[in-house]
Structure 1
Amino acid sequence: MIIVHHLNNSRSQRILWLLEELGLDYEIRKYQRDPKTMLAPPELKAVHPLGKSPVISDGDTVVAESGAIVEYLVKRYGKGRLAPAEDTPERLRWTYFLHFAEGSAMPPLLLKLIFDRIEHGPMPFFVRPIAGAIARKVKQDFILPNIRSQLDFLEGELNKSTWFAGEEFSAADIQMSFALEASSSRGGLDGKYPKLAAFLERIHARPAYQSALERGGKYELVK
């Protein structure tokens, strides 16, 4: 039995979605973020030394990192589903977006979250003007331009094909979902990006996505 060690409002939601798309049986073990720090609870370190989610257990095999989990599940259980054929241009795009989602798309979104908290979070009154000015400058000159550049790039990619790896829905779209949901929630994905907005509408309407939400619980990245 596959066990998903599932943290609320996290990347592990898309692993539940992948398992629903594959029609696999699985068990969920739920963990809650610390309401003050928003970090994962220490209990997750009993599963994997870094104490982060997603992590899956499949018998004696433990796999961490979203991209690695996606590749493992698709290779072991996909039976040709949710991945283009090997040695095709679509497969290369599939591999690219599996890695792009975390390697390129997420870092500036995480930086924006951190600097938003610096700008608006509690601190001594005499520090606030300086900290706020630095946070706004970093966001204006570095973080927001990077996010806009990536959204422009992704909008263009969906002008080339219906889905990120081609005309067929695949695990690359599942992997990309978290970054785009985060962009929609707090990263500037708005009406200027109709292809990306339509992508989010399509994935949110999928029955497997809805089933994963029902099983995983509250997911605040979805507007």
Structure 2
Amino acid sequence: MKQGTLKIHHLGHSQSERILWLCEELGVPYELVKYDRDPVTQLSPPALKALHPLGAAPLIEVDGMLLAESAAIVEFILNRYGNERLQYGSAHPDYASYLYWFHFANGNLQPVMGRSMMVGRCGLAPDHPVLTSVQGRLDKVLALVEARLAENDYLAGSEFTAADIMSVFSLTTMRLFHPVDLAPYPNILAYLQRIGNRPAYQRALAKGDPDMTPLLT
């Protein structure tokens, strides 16, 4: 790998799609190394676990440095290669909104989807208090996203930003693992159509997950 070349270790059908998408949006060249999930456990393969103790994906390598955690990687790429694109500076009127929705993805949206998936697999009765509590939280989170997208085309405001790149996985690919009906949320569905029409999003999925049809409906 040439000095300064960005290498992305990508696990299929995972949050690492964010990194490919971000690089495609920014026009950042990268070397792609792809890994498939274990067919039985659906977890990372040994080759990826050998790179990181948690078997985490995504991982990037650049200049001898290895970095995990998708949010940290997104911030690193934005700051190193972004030239102030896809993010708002502190002087921007929507700066606080950008920060909120950027961190909302891994702070609320993805965790509640994950909890809902795990609790749903426990075989609890439909009226079990744990199940109803988790479902109630998921409903609130999706309602909040729906309300935001009723007011704005994108999560941070009128412009597409990295806050959208952080959030879309939970509304699309995550539903391969945990089906969620988005029919009650027309603004989310309209938003996903806008996302699906982005050439960079299409390129990222074609390179990283060519076997997957994105769940945009």
Please confirm whether the aligned pair reaches a TM-score higher than 0.5, indicating the same fold: yes
In structure 2, distance between residues paired with 1:94 and 1:187: 28
Which residue in the other structure is 2:184 paired with?
192
1:100-151 CA-partner distances (Å, limit 9, x unpaired): 10111112211222233333xxxxxxxxxxxx43x76256421111111001
User: Residue 104 in 1 paired to residue 108 in 2?
Assistant: yes
1-side partners of 2:62 and 2:147: how far apart?
38
- Matched residue, 1:155: 146
List aligned pairs for 1:154-193, cutoff 5 A: 154-182=145-173, 186=178, 188-193=180-185
Q: Which of 179, 200, 205 in structure 2 is aligned with 1:213?
A: 205
Q: Which amino acid aligns with 1:211?
A: R
How far apart are 1:85 and its partner, in Å? 2.7
Deviations 1:159-202 (A, max 9, x none): 22211111111111110111121576545342221111111111
Which residue is 1:142 aligned to?
133
Provide the rounded CA distance (Å) in 1 between the counterparts of 2:14 and 2:213: 9
Question: RMSD value over aligned CA atoms?
Answer: 2.0
Aligned to 1:124: none
Task: For 1:57 and 1:212, locate their aligned partners in 2 and report how far apart those are by CA, in whole Å.
Answer: 18
- The 1-side partners of 2:192 and 2:28 are apart by 24
Retained in 1: the 8 A contact 2:13–2:173? Answer: no
Contact 1:7 1:54 in 2 (8 A): yes
Instruction: State the shift of 1:221 in Å.
Output: 5.5
Q: Letter of the aligned partner of 1:71 in structure 2?
A: E
Q: 1:140 to 1:117 in 2, by over 3 A?
A: closer
Aligned to 2:36: 32
User: 1:97 Cα deviation (Å)?
Assistant: 1.5
Task: Show structure 2 runs of 5+ residues with no match.
Answer: none
Q: CA deviation at 1:222?
A: 2.6
Q: How does 1:23-172 map to 2 (within 5 A)?
A: 23-119=27-123, 132-133=124-125, 137-138=128-129, 140-172=131-163
Give distance in 2, aligned partners of 1:94 and 1:66: 17
TM-score calculated relative to the size of structure 1? 0.86
Q: Please state whether the residue corresponding to 1:44 is helix, strand or coil.
A: helix
Q: State the 1:79 CA deviation.
A: 0.6
**1:38 Cα offset (Å):** 1.1
Q: String of CA shifts for 1:6-29, please: whole Å, max 9, x gaps.
A: 001100112111110011111111
Residue identity (%): 39
Between the aligned partners of 2:24 and 2:8, the Cα distance in structure 1 is: 12
Q: Does the 8 Å contact 1:159/1:195 carry over to 2? A: yes
Separation (CA, whole Å) in 2 of partners of 1:198 and 1:159: 10
1:213 Cα deviation from its structure 2 partner: 1.2
Cα distance, 1:60–1:70 mapped onto 2, change above 3 Å: same
Tell me which amino acid in the other structure corresponds to 1:146. R
Matched residue count: 210
